[in-house]
Structure 1
Amino acid sequence: MADAQQMIKGLVGGMFTHPVRVPILHTPDEYGMAYEEVTFPSLDGTPLEAWWIPAPGSDKLIVANHPLPMSRYGFPSHLEPWKSMVPGGNDFEVNFLPEYKALHDAGYNVLTYDARNHGQSGDANGGIFTWGQFESRDVAGSLQFVKSRPDLAAMKVGLLSRCMGGNATYVAMTRYPELFADVRCMVNPQPVSLRVMAGQALGAMGLADRIDAMDREFKLITSFTIDQVSPIEYAKNCQVPTFITQVRDDVLTRPEDVQAIFDAIPVDDKKLFWIEGSTRRWDGYTYFPEHPEQLLEWFDKHMG
């Protein structure tokens, strides 16, 4: 019993609530893109570090964020110590730069930022990660930044909100709907509910019956229950055309959870694409960098 409790404490006190920062190993100039390092405040003042990648002559802008525990670059899970942190065979690099390159070459400006407590952005809230609750302020800050720059304010805006970034976007849509009035659409790879991911992790540890103990530990650290940070209720306030992608057999989640998030979105113009033939979550993050066709098709349809 004591060993099980220590395992739960380690799981919750580690990656589930305290993201490990990663180095930024690639920059846009390596892919032939001119860019500017910019910084802007989150809604609560936390400094966020970002890349502004302009596509001269274009009035279309994609604002991109990232999953836990990644950064605007991606995640160096081909290197230690990050390689050992991720289960399920996800021991290869996630690099978002080819995705930005595909968007840039298709005529899209890109603004991509590190969330609080990730990458090079500022510390906030004692360093804890809240599965979109506090991180929603970063989404709001990115949209406020767009409106604050005369060269960006009139652009058509689309969102590329990945995993945790997608969860945070749904929360922001609920709390700050006025900021999304001019957003044309969203692409949301791999949204997830913590109860489901925690259940999968506990099951792999032989502790499938200890979800209540995990929930208690999560609340002691964050003051939230695992169900309070679920994106499903927040997704009910998404009012933009949304394209969700997910590795169907991802060992870290279950298809019915992603289906429930998709079903909660109350718009008719939405799409769910299952990535087949893999159990690795990271394949959901490398899919568009390697196969950008559907990504570009969705943005072209709604921002053309």
Structure 2
Amino acid sequence: MFGNMISDMMVKPFQSPLFDDPANYGLDHDNVEFKTSDGVTLRGWLIKGGTDRVIVQSHFGVQCNRAGYCPKGKGLIKPWKTNISFLRQAKFLADQGYSVLMYDLRGHGESDAGPTPWVTWGPEEAKDVLAAVDYIGNRPGFQGAKIGLLSICMGAGATTYAYGMEDGMSARQNVKAMVAVQPLLYNYFLDAFGMPGFLRRAGGKVTQSRIGYDLGDRSFLNDVGKISMPTLVVQNKNDPWTNLDMVKAYYDGLTCDKEMMWLDIEKNRFAAYDYIGREPASVTSWFDRHL
């Protein structure tokens, strides 16, 4: 029983229904869908701001979707008490002449589940990031557009794994810059979360039976050095759910043009996700420099 409960908390898909809409922000947009290399249909919004620069936004995992985070339905203990709408930064970017592709990763929001019908913290979701980039690259009117990646938490992990794939992100020459917000590895999260060992083992056993491998054996740190585009890493230094040395290792492993942005905000991991929408220029100015 405990094993299923812990595994569900970590990898159960479709825990967050869509709660927001671009129309609430007066944004011109299309509802879009596209397929991944393994046949999964992903759905999202293409926010229209211009055709020469596009931001592909990849959200964090499990309790999120393309719209962001909503506390409704998240139980008694909520990591953040108010909505975190990713459409805030989308509106800012659209006003600056960017288009923004906001899509649901597999097993989230309105996208379909994958062949592995569980959240994998990045290895399977890497195919989704590649599919999103390819969708923009092939969409009429957007061929030749410069692409920036706004990759948040699991989205950052998935993007990094995509660089380690054969015919992966390195082959996409239209991708010019990334903002990686709080990349997080599974084991470091469990360490920081302080989960008792017996619960961790029970949950890990169930998760391994579901996805076919131990999540703790996978690390995007092995692929960081393959990232070739200018990368800004954003991290709240007061985040209690991570290991800051791991984030530093991520940054140190980058061999491209890079910068580190340390935020000094509320002692809550979700505070950085909220910060992106409250202070979008401080983060997205990286794209202005490189796109």
Match in the other structure for 1:295: 283
Q: How far apart, in 1, do the equivalents of 2:11 and 2:251 lie?
A: 25
Contact map agreement 1:140 1:179 (CA 8 A) in 2: no
| Percentage identity across paired residues of the two chains | 28
Contact map agreement 2:60 2:155 (CA 8 A) in 1: yes
Q: How far apart, in 2, do the equivalents of 1:212 and 1:82 lie?
A: 24
Match in the other structure for 2:92: 102
Contact map agreement 2:265 2:271 (CA 8 A) in 1: no
2:29 aligned to 32, 35, 48, which one? 35
Q: TM-score, normalised by structure 1?
A: 0.88
User: Against the structure 1 CA distance between its residues 8 and 196, is the aligned structure 2 distance closer, same or farther, given a 3 Å change threshold?
Assistant: farther
Match in the other structure for 1:26: 20
**Aligned 1:167-178 pairs, distance under 5 A:** 167-175=157-165, 176-178=168-170
User: Against the structure 1 CA distance between its residues 50 and 210, is the aligned structure 2 distance closer, same or farther, given a 3 Å change threshold?
Assistant: closer
> Mind listing any 5+ residue stretches in structure 1 that lack a counterpart?
1-5
Q: TM-score, normalised by structure 2?
A: 0.92
Match in the other structure for 2:142: 152
Q: How far apart, in 2, do the equivalents of 1:52 and 1:71 lie?
A: 15
User: Against the structure 1 CA distance between its residues 226 and 124, is the aligned structure 2 distance closer, same or farther, given a 3 Å change threshold?
Assistant: closer
Q: How far apart, in 1, do the equivalents of 2:226 and 2:133 lie?
A: 17
User: Against the structure 1 CA distance between its residues 277 and 157, is the aligned structure 2 distance closer, same or farther, given a 3 Å change threshold?
Assistant: closer
Contact map agreement 2:182 2:247 (CA 8 A) in 1: yes
Match in the other structure for 2:61: 68
User: Against the structure 1 CA distance between its residues 83 and 275, is the aligned structure 2 distance closer, same or farther, given a 3 Å change threshold?
Assistant: farther
Contact map agreement 1:136 1:172 (CA 8 A) in 2: yes
Query: What amino acid does structure 1 have at the position aligned with 2:239?
Result: D
Match in the other structure for 2:259: 271
Contact map agreement 2:46 2:101 (CA 8 A) in 1: yes
Q: How far apart, in 2, do the equivalents of 1:178 and 1:157 lie?
A: 13
Deviation at 1:9, TM superposition (A): 4.3
Contact map agreement 1:130 1:229 (CA 8 A) in 2: no
Match in the other structure for 1:54: 48
**Aligned 1:108-187 pairs, distance under 5 A:** 108-175=98-165, 176-187=168-179
Q: How far apart, in 2, do the equivalents of 1:24 and 1:221 lie?
A: 25
> Mind listing any 5+ residue stretches in structure 2 that lack a counterpart?
none
Does 1:284 pair with 2:272? yes
User: Against the structure 1 CA distance between its residues 126 and 177, is the aligned structure 2 distance closer, same or farther, given a 3 Å change threshold?
Assistant: closer
Q: How far apart, in 2, do the equivalents of 1:7 and 1:250 lie?
A: 27
Worse-superposed segment, 270-279 or 134-143: 270-279
2:184 aligned to 168, 179, 192, which one? 192
Alpha-carbon RMSD across the aligned residues, in angstroms, is: 1.9
Q: How far apart, in 2, do the equivalents of 1:62 and 1:85 lie?
A: 33
Match in the other structure for 1:3: none
User: Against the structure 1 CA distance between its residues 22 and 214, is the aligned structure 2 distance closer, same or farther, given a 3 Å change threshold?
Assistant: closer
**Aligned 1:249-264 pairs, distance under 5 A:** 249-264=238-253
Q: How far apart, in 2, do the equivalents of 1:64 and 1:43 lie?
A: 19
Q: How far apart, in 2, do the equivalents of 1:7 and 1:247 lie?
A: 31
User: Against the structure 1 CA distance between its residues 184 and 108, is the aligned structure 2 distance closer, same or farther, given a 3 Å change threshold?
Assistant: same
SS of 1:172's equivalent? Answer: helix
Deviation at 1:250, TM superposition (A): 1.4
Per-residue deviation, residues 266-292 of structure 1 (Å, max 9, x unmatched):
21x111112213221111111110001
SS of 1:125's equivalent? Answer: coil
Per-residue deviation, residues 242-266 of structure 1 (Å, max 9, x unmatched):
1111121212112111111111112
Does 1:16 pair with 2:16? no
Q: How far apart, in 2, do the equivalents of 1:234 and 1:54 lie?
A: 32
Q: How far apart, in 1, do the equivalents of 2:75 and 2:277 lie?
A: 20
